[in-house]
Amino acid sequence: MTDFETILLERKGRVALITLNRPKALNALNSQVLADLRAALQELESDDGVGAVVLTGSERAFAAGADIKEMADKSYMDMFLADFFAGYEQVAAFRKPLIAAVAGYALGGGCELAMMCDILIAADNATFGQPEIKLGVIPGMGGSQRLTRAIGKAKAMDLILTGRNMGAEEAERAGLVARIVPAAELIATALEVAETIAGYSLPAVMIAKEAVERSYELTLSEGLRFERRVFHSLFATEDQKEGMAAFVGKRAPEFKHR
């Protein structure tokens, strides 16, 4: 596995663990973090031995936002010409399940990065928010769109316009968070969830992710048709034959991820 400057990448069987590693800056997301994340995800996407990925930070901060010090002096033209933050589209387009294990601060870009993931597991000390308004800007990595879809207009407006933070329980009630666990159990739980998913047929898992994501873009009738077509396509896999034969034969399936 490649070494990176701002993240740690470990493999545990069919699961990969990415840890954001800028502790002195509370994992603020600068351009190097994005470059490292993109390179790591590209490596993991092309590796058939990887079935799911956990993305985490530290106990104190998943990430306290985009790096304010890096952005502070930029001009409109700097931001426009670089299409600043556009590189995160590659993170959101990762085709295998990405599980965010969030402890501590997930603010601004940190909350937005967590929302690019497929399952958000929060430690009981997790804090979410979009405080960009306090800096004279607005969310720029998807917060106004993904947070609104995740928790609805009322709460998204409340958070984005006041800049207030939301604790793990409120985030779970609002539908942002899938599960809350004690902080000490966060990584173990996220890895366990990832292992479960990575044990299933990889093509089925990837197509399941794609189908759920399509629900954000398509009408219901188009989405249902898309789902049916990709459901049909799974009957071309060895794993569908194995999964159903194992059920009928009352034994555990041995998926080949093919």
Give the binding site for ligand CAA (CB under 6 A): 25-26, 28, 64-69, 105, 107-109, 112, 131-132, 135, 139-141, 143
Active site amino acids: 66, 109, 112, 132
Q: How far is the CB of 25 from ligand CAA (least distance, A)?
A: 5
Q: How far is the CB of 135 from ligand CAA (least distance, A)?
A: 6
Question: Radius of gyration of the chain from Cα atoms?
Answer: 19
Q: How far is the CB of 73 from ligand CAA (least distance, A)?
A: 13
Closest to 53 (Cα-Cα) out of 5, 92, 89, 10: 10
Task: Name the token pair of 57.
Answer: 């930070």
Nearest to ligand CAA of 28, 101 (CB atom): 28
Q: How far is the CB of 246 from ligand CAA (least distance, A)?
A: 45
Nearest to ligand CAA of 27, 237 (CB atom): 27
Closest to 191 (Cα-Cα) out of 16, 20, 62: 16
Nearest to ligand CAA of 17, 107 (CB atom): 107
Half-sphere CA count of 65, side-chain side, radius 13 A: 23
Task: Name the token pair of 149.
Answer: 């879809």
Nearest to ligand CAA of 45, 59 (CB atom): 59
Rounded Cα distance between 202 and 95, Å, is 10
For residue 215, report the phi and psi dihedrals to the nearest 5 degrees.
-60, -20
Rounded Cα distance between 71 and 125, Å, is 28
